[in-house]
Amino acid sequence: MSIAENLAQINRRIQSAAEGAGRDPAAVRLVAVSKTRPATDIAEAFRAGQTDFGENYVQELTAKLEDIRDGVTWHFIGHLQSNKVKYIAGKVSLIHSVDRLSLAEEISRQWGRLGKICDILVQVNISGEISKSGTTEKGAMQLLRDCALLPNIRVQGLMTMPPFFDDPEAARPYFAELRKLSLAIAAERIPGVKMKELSMGMSGDFEAAIQEGATLVRVGTAIFGER
Ligand SMILES: *Cc1c(COP(=O)(O)O)cnc(C)c1O
């Protein structure tokens, strides 16, 4: 199937998962994860109506920024080294993967130099696997309180990557846990911290994530094929 056909199918599945869960499908945004894919694939998806794209690597993203015209909304979803933040400052609309204060400080500093504010999500390692990045569930609250004091970032919600499962039902408890955590954080009413976004769900499990409250799903393989 073509990228356009894959996108149409994913969008139908998003719609029925949302409706099945009694949610407004418009409350779920599809982020097409285009890492390792050429700019021509992004252009094809864009022509089919896809506007939000997610990238994991700074160098790859900056190369694509040169090739791709306006109109694309970029999401940075991968592990981010503080010394690379300057290369993407002002160029991405949401960073999903903020997992430590030093990174948040650098993002605030670099966006501040441009006189802009960066929207971010705090990545939480719900499963506690050592191999996954993300702050611990316990550390999330303090990180959010610290982020709230930085002038040029705005926390919009949380992101997680569950352990890899073939079975979406196995991933579901991690999605439910992230939602629970976001509600607990929202109840703290930390000034300047919003909990309106939940970035969770990938090709193999985005429907379960939507049923558990995802507002952003990050789908790569199911749109662009195997990497
Ligand atoms: C690669 C990646 C995805 C997309 O995964 P697929 O299984 O290809 O849909 C989503 N989120 C993150 C953080 C990724 O690195």
pLDDT 10s digits, 134-161: 999 889 999 999 999 999 999 999 999 9
Q: How far apart are CA 12 and CA 135, in angstroms?
A: 33
161 lines ligand 1 (CB under 6 A): yes
Q: Mean pLDDT across the stretch 97-110?
A: 98
pLDDT in tens, 10-26: 999 999 999 999 999 99
Distance 124 CA to ligand 1 centre (A): 15
pLDDT score of 166 more than 80: no
Nearest CA to ligand 1 atom 7: 203
Quote the tokens at residue 84: 């690379």
Distances in whole angstroms, Cα of residue 90 to Cα of each of 26, 86, 116: 26, 9, 7
| Residue 22 · residue 212 · CB < 8 Å | no
One of 3.30.365.10, 3.30.1360.120, 3.30.300.30, 3.20.20.10 is the CATH number of 3-224, namely 3.20.20.10
Instruction: Say what percent of the chain tops pLDDT 70.
Output: 100
Confidence grade of residue 67 (pLDDT, cut at 50, 70, 90)? confident
CA 125 to ligand 1 centroid distance, Å: 15
Query: Is beta strand 52-55 parallel, antiparallel or unpaired with respect to 73-76?
Result: parallel
Residue 61 · residue 74 · CB < 8 Å: yes
Residue 31: φ, ψ to 5°: -100, 115
pLDDT at residue 43, rounded to an integer: 95
Inter-residue contact 118 to 95 (CB < 8 Å)? yes
C-alpha to C-alpha distance for 63 and 220, rounded to whole angstroms: 19
Decide whether any atom of ligand 1 lies within 6 Å of the 29 Cβ.
Answer: no
At 120, the amino acid letter reads I
pLDDT of residue 173: 95
pLDDT of residue 133: 84
165 pLDDT band (50/70/90 cuts)?
confident
CB of 36 closer than 6 angstroms to any ligand 1 atom? no
Confidence of residue 216 (pLDDT cuts 50, 70, 90): very high
